[in-house]
Amino acid sequence: MTISSASPAFTGRDPENRLFGPLPDVTAEAGYEEEHPKRVGFFTDTSVCIGCKACEVACKEWNTLPMDDSHGVRDALGLSGMSYDNTGQLGANSWRHVAFIEQSRAVDLPMPTFGRPGDDRAGSGPSPAVAGDDVSLADAQQSVLNAEALSEYDPQTGQSGADKQIRWLMSSDVCKHCTHAGCLDVCPTGALFRTEYGTVVVQGDICNGCGYCVAACPYGVIDQRKDDGRVFKCTMCYDRLTDGLQPACATACPTQSIQFGDLDELQERADARLATLKAQGVETARLYGRDENDGVGGDGAFFLLLDEPEVYGLPPDPIVTTRDLPAMWKAAGKAAAMMIGVAVTAVLGSRRR
Amino acid sequence: MTGGITSPGAGWRQADQGPAVQQRTGRKRRHRGRGRHRGEVPMVEDVEFTSYYGRQIVKTPVWKSPDVPLYLFLGGAAGSSAILGALADLTDRPTLTRVSRLTAGAGSLASVVFLIHDLGRPERFLHMLRVIKPTSPLSIGSYILAPFSAAAGATAAVELLGWFPRLKRFGGAVAAAFGGPLATYTGVLLANTAVPSWHAPHTQLPYVFGGSAMAAGGGITMAFTPVEEAGPARKMAITGAVVELAAMHKVETDHGILSEPYHEGRPGALMRAAQVCTAAGATLTAVAGRRRWGAVASGTLLAAGSLLTRFGVFEAGIASTKDPKYVVVPQKERLAARQQEHADTTTR
């Protein structure tokens, strides 16, 4: 049996010719025997991520990835200048990337009442207009000044700390190992392939650096190493998996933010975790890449986020580009036929010399 | 636990008060897109969107310029010339046949060189023919380009050498069969990506490239063929130019915010120059194409228009990857529309 690097839609094993949508057994669809291992994945729970970047370091160490700065410049030590995140993005040399987001928001405080601190009980105390009490006014001004001195004034938002809240969001991003992987679909050499674990891996000895996968990934994960010419991305530590080990990043994560395991089990765990958070009142918590009906048929590496995906640099609604490929081939066929038609008409419509 | 991310405040803290308790979600900090350049007519309203420090989401294609735009142009010109050459051969137009075959041969060989030069590992170009994958336009394209360039190259070679007249006709026919697909598959090649402004017009780009190919092929062949024999080339060039302009107009206007990169900055300037060249070339062909100078001038204009179109489309796509707005805004709209649809169906 040949292991196909083509999309399930074209292997003949998929009666519905699906280029996107749910695919219960992506590994079997790729051509593996019945008794293949279960599909594995990552569940990255960003609500417990502490931004330590142990995953990034472990990944670099295990996979001997070169150093680069936040713009992918090789062997450069550079600060991004935007946050504690100096990795910046996923790329050929960064297969884990810890996003670091500092958010601030204005708080709708009640109008300040002029009076001694603690005197602001509802209905109590005279209003400043009628009081005319110089002592209490001075005290109030003093207390406002103190509050400003205690908290830093943020020149970017023009707000002082008294009416502003901040929070930090951290999330370890990684290749999503999509059910319908755009990179895998468009690879013309077969260098990208689906492993027996349902993950997507590049074969370095086959890749000829055409770069099609780079343009096709809806998440902007895979990239070319300029001085090498070939493309690189997360393998979910394929070499470790075959030896019964967990991927380096999941092993290194001190808070179990990165959880590795069988995908169906992780999905159950994630659903339970989301329910817990919702019950605790974290209304903005959501799962990303969990839905098998999304544009890529669900991700092998999915996330629990605390804000909109784009806040973390993730596309809000990624769709595998190959979904529209039948329409494109049809248009190209019609356009080619049009060219023949125009040429025939032009030749027949011209007088012989 | 002192109010971490899992507390009811979801991690929001206030400087002098500690963890927030049951605050309503406030306004989010928005990273606005870059301002509009001066003197450009806004296609769509400036939109508010969130991103990760303004960083791009999808990767910018690593395809090199001018390699890839030149490949698109040469492949198109070669493809349409091959079709014209085969038909001219059948209808006994020897000079037009010869010019078309030479154009097709030279164009195909040069396009192969540019395609291979664009690879990260050029010495591995034969890996392109290792598998055949209908999901990969580049794989299918390799199986179009390989027989086309072999046939068109061989035909041009025997045309120059004057050997094997029968083989020449067969080679020309093979090249003509692959010529159309070679010219239009490149539209699929660009459209089948996550590049926002290439993917959005995915059913229109093949027509743009097909029309552009006919304009270029017709233009080049008519410039080198005696005017009395170049009638088919002129007609093909004019029709191609009209198709190119019409299809490109749809690309530039149908896709809301994703049409924007085709109007702004360098790609916008390239597209405008392309339109001027193509329109002028087509008009001049109709008016003065039957004179020698007119054929040369209009053929040059048409080829230049086609070349500029390829560069413009290529660079517009590149530009659309560099601003997260082109990923976030259309996808958010898509999500909202789907949720609305879902709400409508569930409340039936």
Nearest to A342 by CA among B206, B284, B238: B238
Tell me the residues of chain B between 277 and 306 that have a Cβ less than 8 Å away from chain A: none
User: Smallest Cβ distance to A351: which of B58, B195, B231?
Assistant: B231
Question: What pLDDT does residue B348 have?
Answer: 56
Place of tokens 């769709």: A319
Residue extents of the structural domains in chain B: 67-330
What whole-number distance in Å separates Cα of residue A100 and Cα of residue A169?
Answer: 6
Contacts of B206 in chain A (CB under 8 A): 328, 331-332, 334-336
- Distance in Å, alpha carbon of A177 to nearest chain B alpha carbon: 16
Residue of A nearest to B133 (CA): A6
Instruction: Provide the token pair at A197.
Output: 């674990």
Residue extents of the structural domains in chain A: 18-104+170-319, 105-121+136-168, 324-353
Q: Could you tell me which residue, A120 or B64, shows the higher pLDDT?
A: B64
Per-residue pLDDT tens digits of chain A, which is 353 residues long: 445 555 555 555 555 657 888 888 899 888 898 889 999 999 999 999 999 999 999 999 999 999 988 888 888 888 888 888 999 999 999 999 999 999 888 776 555 445 444 444 444 334 444 444 455 555 544 544 444 444 455 545 555 556 778 889 999 999 999 999 999 999 999 999 999 999 999 999 999 999 999 999 999 999 999 999 999 999 999 999 999 999 999 999 999 999 999 999 999 999 999 999 999 989 999 999 999 989 999 999 999 999 999 999 999 999 999 999 999 999 999 999 999 999 999 999 987 65
Question: What pLDDT does residue A136 have?
Answer: 52
Backbone CA torsion sign across B254, B258, B262, B265: positive
Q: From edge to edge, which strands make up the β-sheet containing A301-305?
A: A258-262, A40-45, A301-305, A286-288
Interchain pair B59, A325: CB under 8 A:
no
Residue of B nearest to A3 (CA): B131
Contacts of A157 in chain B (CB under 8 A): 29
Residue range A289-298, pLDDT digits in tens: 999 989 999 9
Residue B111: pLDDT over 70: yes
Lowest mean pLDDT of B48-52, B124-128, B299-303, B321-325, name the range.
Answer: B48-52
Q: Could you tell me which residue, A8 or B46, shows the higher pLDDT?
A: B46
Using alpha carbons, list the distances in angstroms from residue A10 to A16, B139, B252, B333.
Answer: 10, 14, 33, 31
B344 reaches A (C-beta below 8 A): no
User: Cα A193 vs. chain centroid, distance in angstroms?
Assistant: 21
What whole-number distance in Å separates Cα of residue A231 and Cα of residue A212?
Answer: 10
Q: What helix, strand, coil percent values describe chain A, rounded to 5?
A: 30, 15, 50
Q: Which amino acid is at A112?
A: P
Nearest to A93 by CA among A118, A112, A117, A73: A73
- Backbone conformation region of residue A223, classed left if phi is above 0, alpha if psi is from -120 to 50, else beta: beta
What whole-number distance in Å separates Cα of residue B44 and Cα of residue B256?
Answer: 7
Which residues have a Cβ under 8 Å from the Cβ of A81 and sit 6 or more positions away? Answer: none
Residue B29 — very low, low, confident or very high, per pLDDT cuts 50/70/90?
very low
Contacts of B80 in chain A (CB under 8 A): 339, 343
For a pLDDT cut of 90, what percent of chain B falls above it?
Answer: 80
Residue range B166-211, pLDDT digits in tens: 889 999 999 999 999 999 999 999 999 999 999 999 999 999 999 9
Q: Which amino acid is at B86?
A: A
- Distance in Å, alpha carbon of A62 to nearest chain B alpha carbon: 25
B314 reaches A (C-beta below 8 A): no
Question: What pLDDT does residue A351 have?
Answer: 77
Contacts of A152 in chain B (CB under 8 A): 15
- Distance in Å, alpha carbon of A343 to nearest chain B alpha carbon: 6
Do B193 and A219 touch, CB atoms closer than 8 A? no
Strands A231-232 and A258-262: unpaired
Which residues have a Cβ under 8 Å from the Cβ of B269 and sit 6 or more positions away? Answer: none
Interface A-B, measured as beta-carbon pairs within 8 A, has a size of 351
Contacts of B16 in chain A (CB under 8 A): 147, 150-151, 161-162
Q: Give domain A18-104+170-319's CATH architecture.
A: 2-Layer Sandwich (3.30)
Specify the pTM.
0.86
Question: What pLDDT does residue B20 have?
Answer: 56
Helix A325-348 / helix B67-90 crossing angle, nearest 10 deg = 40
Determine the topology of domain B67-330 in CATH. Answer: Formate dehydrogenase/DMSO reductase fold (1.20.1630)
Interface probe with A: pick from B58, B80, B135, most Cβ of A within 10 Å: B135
User: Smallest Cβ distance to A229: which of B5, B52, B120?
Assistant: B120
Tell me the residues of chain B between 21 and 60 that have a Cβ less than 8 Å away from chain A: 22-29, 49-53, 55-59
Question: What pLDDT does residue A22 have?
Answer: 86
What whole-number distance in Å separates Cα of residue A66 and Cα of residue B323?
Answer: 27
- Distance in Å, alpha carbon of A251 to nearest chain B alpha carbon: 23
- Distance in Å, alpha carbon of B345 to nearest chain A alpha carbon: 17
Tell me the residues of chain B between 64 and 83 that have a Cβ less than 8 Å away from chain A: 79-80, 83
Interchain pair A105, B28: CB under 8 A:
yes
Give SS3 for B14. Answer: strand
Interchain pair A101, B59: CB under 8 A:
no
Q: Which amino acid is at A11?
A: T
Interchain pair B121, A281: CB under 8 A:
no
- Distance in Å, alpha carbon of B19 to nearest chain A alpha carbon: 9
